[in-house]
Chains A and B, each alone.
Chain A
């Protein structure tokens, strides 16, 4: 026992203990994951929690997690959980971390919930579980491995496409004590197949919830996936989510990320371009106000030659909000003829808003095309006056200019119901910004 109290070390130890005791409470239907969980637990136990001195976490202190009193699972279910996006989707819902409902019925899709997998399903899940990442480098993915509650594997059969997009909703009760949940989603898109997937993390209002998720994506040759990652949690919520994507030759992956603020929201997106002519496109919009904190860390590894990556992230920060963008592009020695473009633009609406943006390029091949750009700016006074001189109030001008700033990225969301859903959340944010600015 340490005599000197260190909240991080204490929390770390409590996590390990909690994981142990939760594991013992699991139902028989999840016993088959015991080995994987204990492996994850020992990995996590051997890691140090990130501090300000950990480069990848330098601008994102994890104090809200450590001090959040969140080490509590909630297994009861109440009916007051918010829903995801209403639209023409297949929907699969995780409620308080447990798989609650699924209406997927499509010959192109195979869906295997961890909690109801038969022997063949378990074998298939084990084939993919944890294969995309090195847990030693991702402390919260390691935590997820050690505390795994439930999850689902979605497989799209070769050369086929589901009739509708699939939405996975991550929700929780809106009232009660602070609690946490740990889910895993595995997506396997077989060769030539196509998938549209939405992962929607909804606002549980006043309640403090820590959602820890890992999504592992395997794209076989010439497959295509469009992935909406919509982090719509509110100001009290904490989220650490990792998405790991492995792409074989000729596959295409596209992500539309959207994040409103939260007490702490950290998204790690890691793409490995493993086969020639694979391509990926990462789009993101983040909006942080009040005292919210949003952090996007992306890593794109060009392992194979002739691959293309493109990323565009735009953020608006208001009040005392903070945002972090770290975009790493790693071009391996054999990845000749790689093309990588990265852009990050930020708009600060107040003097107290903060953003830390950092491109990181590591290039070991000599015949590549790489471009990156990062900007941080404010609304232009002259532009605001231009609106006013045409009879438009300063607050309307504020709203229109904020909307315009992220419009080009938002407009690329092709699923109209999803686009409308995030636009509405964004409008609320612009209104707050306009009110604050003209108060």
Chain B
């Protein structure tokens, strides 16, 4: 589904990704861990097409297409979803309006009919129950005045509605209490299926107690320096990153 080869990317002249290679197949869950500044968030932003992230060499192939040729909205329509680390507040645009426009853009792209207001509302009410948010949140401005935890739940709600093929979670677990963490994990687990994949970026092992990954990768200095199974995360938690002898540049 997703194949990243020897990727180099920079933000404002600063090279962040330096030869990253990663393969993600349908049905898999990959956890990416690593010290601050190693390039984890950059990777998710490059994948979702954020402006200002320049790929200088390497390639990203997504279902046989060159991902780097696609606009961010095309990537979303082709099934890529990024759960933001810091979801954006958009006063004046209601959650429901936002979701419906998003969903119908994607459905239209797939050649499906747009959902009418009633069908959409029914679906939204059902999914919002899964993330333990009051249905009133649908009427509020997107993320407007939401607490940190509510914002993250709202990201998961969007993910459940849009049913992506490839979900990227950028530190969705940071700052969450146990209840919210479980909601996020349940959302991701509900989405798991043989034809979908999840890449989750996290600092902490604890999320992986709820979402059991197939692979754990350590990202350092812009490259994946070690990959393993779930036990790698436990090892990292116990020993930190020091034992990996992260060579060349210093780790911030």
Which residue in chain B gives the minimum CB-CB distance to A400?
Answer: B93
Contact pattern, B 180-223, Cβ under 8 Å of A = 1, otherwise 0 = 00000000000000000000000000000000000000000000
Contact pattern, B 75-93, Cβ under 8 Å of A = 1, otherwise 0 = 0110001101001101111
B105 touches A389 (CB 8 A): no
B162 proximity list for chain A (CB < 8 A): 390-391
A364 proximity list for chain B (CB < 8 A): none
The answer to whether residues A389 and B90 also contact, given A394-B73, A396-B101, A400-B101 and a CB cut-off of 8 A, is no
A362-395 residues at the B interface, CB under 8 angstroms: 380-383, 385-394
Q: Is B106 an interface residue (CB 8 A)?
A: yes
Q: Is A417 an interface residue (CB 8 A)?
A: no
The answer to whether residues A386 and B84 also contact, given A391-B77, A401-B90, A404-B92 and a CB cut-off of 8 A, is yes
Q: Is A405 an interface residue (CB 8 A)?
A: yes
Q: Is B125 an interface residue (CB 8 A)?
A: no
From A385, A390, A408, contact of B98 by CB (8 A): A390
B90 touches A390 (CB 8 A): no
Task: Report the minimal beta-carbon distance from B207 to chain A, rounded to whole angstroms.
Answer: 21
The answer to whether residues A388 and B92 also contact, given A381-B51, A393-B105 and a CB cut-off of 8 A, is no
Question: Hey, which bits of chain B sit against chain A, CB under 8 A?
Answer: 48-51, 71-73, 76-77, 81-82, 84, 87-88, 90-93, 97-98, 101-103, 105-106, 109, 141, 158, 162
Task: Report the minimal beta-carbon distance from B76 to chain A, rounded to whole angstroms.
Answer: 4
Interface centre among B71, B76, B162 (most CB of A within 10 A): B76
A392 touches B105 (CB 8 A): yes
Question: Hey, which bits of chain A sit against chain B, CB under 8 A?
Answer: 380-383, 385-394, 396, 400-401, 403-405, 407-408
B87 proximity list for chain A (CB < 8 A): 386
From B82, B97, B101, B103, contact of A389 by CB (8 A): B82
From B81, B84, B105, contact of A396 by CB (8 A): B105
B72 proximity list for chain A (CB < 8 A): 385, 388-389
From B84, B93, B97, B106, contact of A391 by CB (8 A): B106
Q: How far is the CA of A405 from the CA of B84 in the complex (A)?
A: 23
From B49, B73, B81, B88, contact of A392 by CB (8 A): B73
Which residue in chain A gives the minimum CB-CB distance to B104?
Answer: A391
